[in-house]
Amino acid sequence: MDVNHLNLRDSPSQIPASHLKYHLPYFTPAEVEQLSDKQRGKLSVTQEEKARQQACGFIEAVGAKIGFPRKTIATAQNLYHRFHLFFPRKDFGYHDVALAALYVSSKMHDTLKKPREILMVAYGVRFPELAAKSKSVAGEVDMDPATVEHDRQRLLAVERLLLETICFNFTSRMAFPYVIKISRAFGATKKLSKLAWRLAIDSHRTLVNLQYPPHVVALSCLYLAALLSSFEQGTSPERPGYHSSHQIAATLGKPGPWERQFQAQIQDLEEITHAIIDLLIVVAQNPQATTSPTTPSSPSPHLSRNQIVMRETEHPPRRRESAAPGQVMAEAEGSLLGRNEGTVRFMFGPPGFADETV
């Protein structure tokens, strides 16, 4: 990673004296696709997805070993995805971005660890053979102090860029509490709610949390959990006070009053469930891939059958309006992120909303 590469894009004469950078909590699927295409470089879509899963697995492993709660790990994965909507993959190693994302996430959720602490745990994950030979009581890998300091500086350099991509907005809304509330509202069993929770964990390995609010992701995870459970043999009989997987899947599989009640639309649920199913199918076909330890253990025939059933009844994708029409790509083309020239005012919300709150 070239820490100074951001200062070399344009000459100072081309940079405006002041610039507003708005925080967009969500992007449209079209914006995500355009930004990803720009930052992918010469990588194929398959290679990009492989790199994404490597980074998410690394964040999972380091975060779990440190003892971070799920919200910290999930937010770090989301920060990693957001970072590479604005910065090329070829310019940054995924270890650097992943660790910086964990560091920023630990600040956001008040689970703070020092950069050196995160680095030492990461060395143990990256170099297990050295960790096995460690004589330290804490199991720290014996690394050259100069290397540790160099890596710490790299982490802090990427941290600055990450903070700028979120406009220093530390607000983080997660799908997990919504999974519990929505499962109760639909009368889901405890087993089904747990599966929806696990799917919400895996949703952070995809880009859906950059595109949809957490309550919509949570609703989609319950829908997918109900679909997967409905294919299982020997599904537990209906219990008083609860709804079966078939009933919940049938309700969420078609338009109805639930859309207004939960402020969600069936087209969005289908887009999210397809993204998560695609991830799980890839994982099922490649058991060696680094996956979440709580990834649903549904056999691949269920996933494929589920995808076929959904394709037969799916609705056309709805058109979504951008919160900042034309601005996202304009900022990506001439971004001032990471530069020291000019004045950048970071706004905590989209245009209009942020302007009203100033």
| DSSP structural state of residue 171 | -
pLDDT, one tens digit per residue, over 218-243 is 999 999 999 988 876 555 556 667 88
State pTM to two decimals.
0.85
pLDDT, one tens digit per residue, over 138-193 is 667 888 999 999 999 999 999 999 999 998 999 889 999 999 999 999 999 999 99
Domains 29-172 and 176-313 share a fold: yes
- CB contact at 8 A, 161 and 337: yes
- CB contact at 8 A, 214 and 174: yes
The span from the CA of 358 to the CA of 356, in Å, is 6
Q: Right CATH number for 176-313 from 1.10.472.10, 3.20.20.70, 3.20.20.370, 3.40.50.720?
A: 1.10.472.10
8: confidence class by pLDDT, cuts 50, 70, 90: very low
- CB contact at 8 A, 52 and 210: no
The architecture CATH gives domain 29-172: Orthogonal Bundle (1.10)
297: confidence class by pLDDT, cuts 50, 70, 90: very low
What separation in angstroms does the CA of 15 have from each of 253, 341, 347?
50, 7, 19
Examine the pLDDT at 341 and tell me if it is beyond 70.
Answer: no
Examine the pLDDT at 89 and tell me if it is beyond 90.
Answer: yes
What separation in angstroms does the CA of 64 have from each of 70, 122, 127, 185?
8, 11, 16, 31
Task: Parse the chain into domains and list their residue ranges.
Answer: 29-172, 176-313
Examine the pLDDT at 5 and tell me if it is beyond 70.
Answer: no
SS3 state of residue 346: strand
